[in-house]
Amino acid sequence: MSEEFIFGWHAVEAVLKREPERLQAVWIQTGRQDRRVKEVTAALDELGVPWQVVHRRELDERVAGVHQGVVAQVGKSREWSEDDLLAMLEQSGKPPFLLVLDGVTDPHNLGACLRTADAAGVQAVIVPKDKSASLSPTARKVACGAAETVPLVRVTNLARALRNLQQQGVWLIGTAGEAKASLYQADFSGPVALVMGAEGKGMRRLTREHCDQLINIPMQGHVDSLNVSVATGVCLYEALRQRLA
């Protein structure tokens, strides 16, 4: 049995739907007998996955976070490599649409970015192995199931991974406050990867140098920046608008 846990109804249901073989045990808070609980427990029974109704205190002891009354113990999720990503892009038959997060360390931000990436149709999210948030139970819960649908590719050398994408014809668009071009002047219609920097510091110098184009998000108020997950959502939905057009 692994020691990896997920929590929250969206996260548990996503694993149940897409990777049921990972489920090892499920605990549900006492007092819930609604339709959602009945559907989940019926599916668990069909799969032969053990589940228990327990006091909230036991769930609180297993995980740190708002568990919504459900916690699951799961096997390790698939680790996506750069080779896996390139193979997936080659087989997809669609122009690549990717998100690169350079050093996002807050699991809440990672989860929120994954959730928006899934909604916008992003094929994969790329992060460096070092100085980046992992797919912790908190990140999975915030992602509301997107952690099970959007591949998270962890690369040892982000600059090299960006060069490899460029060799595949992917246009790299990075965000920077000092950029002269705005988000609404960028062309997201073709093979593209949106590159977002870390909370506060933005992109690292080497990452910035590998971008084909730098853009800014127009700011009309008194604050000079947005939270990275909010900025990611703004950019991805402009990209989606163009790609749908």
Annotated binding site for S-adenosyl-L-methionine: 197, 217, 226
The H-assigned helical ranges of 147-213 are: 158-167, 205-210
Burial of 209 (0-12, 13-18, 19+ CB in 10 A): exposed
d(CA 31, CA 25): 19
Pairing of the two strands 23-29 and 4-7:
unpaired
End-to-end CA distance of the chain: 48
The closest of 87, 84, 81, 57 to 69, measured between CA atoms, is 57
Name the helix (H) or strand (E) containing 192: strand 192-196
Q: Which residues are annotated as a binding site?
A: 197, 217, 226
* DSSP string over 7-41: ESHHHHHHHHHH-GGGEEEEEEETT--SHHHHHHH
d(CA 92, CA 98): 13
Say which residues have a Cβ less than 8 Å from residue 207's Cβ, sequence separation at least 6. Answer: 100, 102, 158, 159, 162, 174, 195, 197
